[in-house]
Amino acid sequence: MKKILITGGAGFIGSHLCERLLKEGNEVICLDNYFTGNKKNIVHLLDNPYFELVRHDVCTPYFIEIDQIYNLACPASPIHYQYNPIKTIKTSVMGALNMLGLAKRIHARILQASTSEVYGDPMVHPQVETYWGNVNPIGERSCYDEGKRCAETLFFDYNKQNNVDIKIIRIFNTYGPKMHPNDGRVVSNFIVQALKGEDITVAGDGSQTRSFQYVDDLLEGMIRMMQTDKGFTGPVNIGNPNEFTILELANKVIELTGSKSKIKYIPLPSDDPTQRKPDISLAKGKLSWQPTIQLNEGLVNTIDYFEKELKINSK
């Protein structure tokens, strides 16, 4: 049994991780300031004596004795991270500093939830971990992209300078139950629009691509990374290499929901990456990991979740 701190534990990915690590027999401390997370995501865990919930902002230092830290605290959808860009960059950078300081002090292992956004609008396709990226430092997405890039730098410097036991994963677009219905991410947006019979809002001409990973596959990759030998730091891409255009995704959601929704084209946001697909050779080699849930299956589960959510909320 390990004592594990999960920052951002009340969010979409964090709440699944809390559940999974508890199931595996660990003690879990979930830390969150509820900016985009919700108590609803973890309320069913509150009766578990091995689960603790802490309201705290990672921009402020936090001290606790634990074995491992998963650092997930950071708004992740463009709408939410652009709402208060200064706060977003503070959360990434000061959050990383505070959690690395904690890891250093108590000799804990720490994993950073980094992102495919560090590759920006990539000129190398598929993206390999050795690619340095093509990121606009002063655009709409910079608070998130550059914040996450700086966090990676801090992780490596704490590793080199203070021998902190770090792990970095670069997560590609992930979807599944418990996504925030209004956070504007494409999978949740399209599903909610289709279920409500509203227009499906495809940005640009819908030819931009993303590679969508189901949340359970991510958890498996994340936990395997945490368990690798000391000295293996990553970064490692964790994503599903099956690539789809956004228009293909829209049509798939319409088909799987049986919706009568029509596609409506909306302006493409600035700096929207044109393509994204992980090279997962490193994860396959080092973690013996690859995704097992493909888009159709994952979408069916996610649609099922949102159908229930919408019914509850309409009562």
**Residues at the site binding ligand UDP, with contacts judged by CB under 6 A:** 77-78, 173, 184-186, 189, 201-203, 208, 210, 246, 269, 272
Closest CA to 297 of 175, 171, 173, 170: 175
Alpha-carbon distance 211 to 123, whole Å?
16
Rounded CA-CA distance 67/203 in Å is: 43
Ramachandran area for residue 259 (φ above 0: left; ψ -120 to 50: alpha; else beta): beta
Does 11 participate in binding ligand NAD (rule CB under 6 A)?
A: yes
Binding residues among 38-57 for ligand NAD as defined by CB under 6 A: 57
Minimum CB distance to ligand UDP, residue 173 (Å): 5
| Beta carbon of residue 235, minimum distance to ligand NAD (angstroms, whole number) | 12
The site for ligand NAD, by CB under 6 A, has a size of: 29
User: What string marks each residue from 81 to 120 as x (binds ligand NAD by CB under 6 A) or -?
Assistant: ----------x---x-----------------x-x-----
Nearest approach in angstroms of CB 104 to ligand UDP is 31
- 13 vs 303, which CB is nearer to ligand NAD? 13
What x/- string results for residues 118 through 157 when contact with ligand NAD is judged by CB under 6 A?
A: ----------------------------------------
Backbone angles phi, psi at 140, to 5 degrees: -60, -35
Each as own residue / partner, the long-range contacts of residues 159-162 (CB below 8 Å, 24 or more positions apart, any chain) are: 159/233, 162/104
- Give the pair of three-digit tokens for residue 309: 């959510």
Q: Which does 234 bind (CB under 5 to 8 A by kind): ligand UDP, ligand NAD, none?
A: none
Pairing of strands 243-245, 209-211: antiparallel
Task: Identify the active-site residue in 70, 81, 119, 144.
Answer: 144
Q: Is the distance from CB of 188 to CB of 178 less than 8 angstroms? A: no
Q: How far apart are CA 41 and CA 58, in angstroms?
A: 19
Q: Which stretch binds ligand NAD (CB under 6 A): 170-178, 266-274, 279-287, 304-312?
A: 170-178
Report how far residue 304's alpha carbon sits from residue 38's, in angstroms, rounded to the nearest whole number.
20
Across 49-67, b (16+ Cβ under 10 Å) vs e yields eebbbeeebbbeebeeebe
Measured from the CB atom, is 68 or 173 closer to ligand NAD? 173
Closest CA to 298 of 266, 236, 252, 237: 252
Q: Smallest gap, in angstroms, from Cβ of residue 3 to ligand NAD?
A: 19
305 belongs to the catalytic site: no
Which C-beta is closer to ligand NAD: that of 14 or that of 235?
14
Q: Is the Cβ of residue 108 or residue 113 nearer to ligand NAD in the bound state?
A: 113
Q: Which residue ranges make up the site for ligand NAD (CB under 6 A)?
A: 7-8, 10-14, 32-37, 57-59, 72-76, 91, 95, 113, 115, 171, 173-174, 180
Catalytic residues: 144
